[in-house]
Amino acid sequence: MMNLKKACILILLLVSALTMFVIAAWAEELENSAESIRCRGHIVSMGDPKYVVKEKCGEPTAKQEMGSIWVYDFGPQRFVYYVKFDDGVVFRILTGGYGH
């Protein structure tokens, strides 16, 4: 009976630690999120399709995760933007550090 109690407590502690880690990662992503980005005099917003993003911002600096994330590095005076797509439309824009 005592071993069962210890096992339950250990599982509860592990689940709690994992939950805190997931919440912290999610909060960090939300903190670095943007509603839109300005590139080449145009604004890209959530819901814009890939072809509109490409027309407004040009080719991305890089593509990640099989093309579902486009990276735009506008140089050392601006932030790097990570444009995430779902079903071909922008669903999240994240900002990184200053570009290169």
Return d(Cα 10, Cα 35) in angstroms, integer: 41
**Pair of tokens at residue 33:** 């999120």
What is the CATH number for 72? 3.30.1450
Same structural domain for residues 72 and 49?
yes
Same structural domain for residues 66 and 45?
yes
- pTM for this prediction: 0.68
**Pair of tokens at residue 47:** 């819901």
Return d(Cα 94, Cα 32) in angstroms, integer: 5
How many separate domains does the chain show? 2
Same structural domain for residues 40 and 88?
yes
Same structural domain for residues 76 and 90?
yes
CB-based burial, 41-75: b 16+ in 10 Å, e otherwise: eeebeeebeeeebeebbeebeeeeeeeebbbbbbe
Same structural domain for residues 46 and 18?
no
Domain of 27?
Answer: 1-31
- Walk along the chain (100 residues) and give the pLDDT tens digit of each residue: 568 877 777 777 777 666 566 555 554 554 567 889 998 899 999 999 999 999 999 999 999 988 899 999 999 999 999 999 999 999 999 988 898 9
